[in-house]
Structure 1
Amino acid sequence: MATKTREPEPIDAYLASVADPAAKKTLGALRMQLRKLLPGATETISYRMPTFKVDGNAVAGFAFFKTHCGYYPFSGGVVPVLKAELDGYTTSKSGITFLPDEPLPAKLVKKLVQVRLAEIATRGQQAKGKRVVGKTAATGFQVGVVRTLPMTASALWEWVTKQPEHWLGTGAALKLKPGMPYEVPKRRGAPGVRGEIRVVKPGDRLRMTWQPDGWKKPATLQLTLVPKARGVSLGVHMENLPDAKAREAMRERWSKVLTNLAKD
């Protein structure tokens, strides 16, 4: 009986067609990293480029164009959120351009994937009104809440930095310097919280750890400001949450915080 020849996977065929050795190596390595970040994702070709899909949603894609490579999150909202990390790269709303012999850093690819997954989860909540439990091998349980507010980015940053008691909790105080610890006192109905400031980008982004009493490990909390035509979008993203229950609790917490802010 004749042995059937296995048809090459779509992305295998695409990479085999890339003549530039550096590009083939770089995109092959990028594919391997995406496999680790998105276990169980479907690998296919979309818009003539290798694409990773999760539950039918395109999360990441890449391609080679004669002299350069491109990375595409299939969203116009991901690149603006990470504009600080993408400083120095040629970008558009839909993607990032880089040279074949200068691959994107692994940490940057991880963040691009994280932001896209959080965006998909948030839009799913808004569109369907259902709970969406997001978990990946790279970030554990995560949640994202986004709201556009009728105010300027500078006014919102002032609120975030000068009035932390409204979003961190009563008694909270922040010193906006990487490495500085913070603590929120325990009060009736709410546990104490402690953490450390990690990244401060004035008017743009604040990243910190978040560990309430009873959590064995800290989660990561990031607040991102993105100017819009009619105000500014505030995105709250948490990752490495301990379980689905904590994820739902944080989704409800931050949804309430943003709703209250919109009323002020």
Structure 2
Amino acid sequence: MAKTKIIGETKDAGFQFGLRKTFNIPYEEVWDFMFSANGLKLWLGLLANELAEKEYYKTKEGTEGEIRLIKEHSHIRLTWKKKGWDNVSQLQVRIISNNGKTVISFHHDHLLDGDQRSEMDVHWNRVMEKISKELENKS
């Protein structure tokens, strides 16, 4: 009998969660905001150090990991370990230009289980709400 697939379960990357939202704001403006001190604080946390590729980071809230890749004006890929978690997950944040509009995409995988996926569903939706409010205030 075939195993019932659980929402968000992948074949080889644990559980995943993804969220995208399109903004009617120029691409460069969204990128600059997301990587400003204020933008980073919203989606990553208050950083104790600068973000640099192949370097470790830690936020004041206790999230930590390694920056795997920063592709300017495209995306960032990093490991992500929330304070209190035993496992390390992976996060990719993309800023995508789309016909004069801009898409912000969060893709979080290597989550431990469905509960952790649900926790990240709530987390990233709250983050996107905060980002939306900030971007709407800027435009």
Task: Tell me if the contact between 1:224 and 1:234 (Cα under 8 Å) persists in the aligned partners.
Answer: yes
Amino acid at match of 1:210: W
Q: 1:155 is matched with which residue: 23, 29, 35?
A: 29
5 Å matches for 1:141-152?
141-152=15-26
Partner of 1:167: 43
Matched, 1:241 2:111: yes
5 Å matches for 1:112-151?
133-151=7-25
SS of 1:247's equivalent in the other structure is helix
5 Å matches for 1:188-203?
192-203=62-73
Task: Tell me if the contact between 1:149 and 1:232 (Cα under 8 Å) persists in the aligned partners.
Answer: yes
Task: Tell me if the contact between 1:209 and 1:220 (Cα under 8 Å) persists in the aligned partners.
Answer: yes
SS of 2:129's equivalent in the other structure is helix
Percent of paired sites with the same residue: 27
Measured in 2, the distance between the counterparts of 1:196 and 1:216 equals 16
Partner of 1:185: 60
SS of 1:175's equivalent in the other structure is coil
Pair 1:230–1:259, CA change in 2 (3 A): farther
Q: CA deviation at 1:177?
A: 2.4
Task: Tell me if the contact between 2:48 and 2:57 (Cα under 8 Å) persists in the aligned partners.
Answer: yes
Task: Tell me if the contact between 1:133 and 1:247 (Cα under 8 Å) persists in the aligned partners.
Answer: no
| Structure 2 unaligned regions, length at least 5 | 135-139
Greater length-normalized contact order (CA 8 Å, ≥ 6 residues apart): 2
Q: 2:86 is matched with which residue: 195, 216, 225?
A: 216
Matched, 1:231 2:101: yes
Measured in 1, the distance between the counterparts of 2:34 and 2:56 equals 17
Which one has the largest radius of gyration? 1
Amino acid at match of 1:152: P
**TM superposition score normalised by structure 1:** 0.46
RMSD value, Cα: 1.9
Amino acid at match of 2:13: T
**TM superposition score normalised by structure 2:** 0.83
Task: Tell me if the contact between 2:69 and 2:76 (Cα under 8 Å) persists in the aligned partners.
Answer: yes
Pair 1:185–1:176, CA change in 2 (3 A): closer
Q: CA deviation at 1:218?
A: 0.8
Pair 1:176–1:237, CA change in 2 (3 A): same
SS of 1:136's equivalent in the other structure is coil
SS of 2:53's equivalent in the other structure is coil
Q: CA deviation at 1:157?
A: 1.3
SS of 1:257's equivalent in the other structure is helix
User: 4+ runs of 1 displaced by more than 4 Å?
Assistant: none
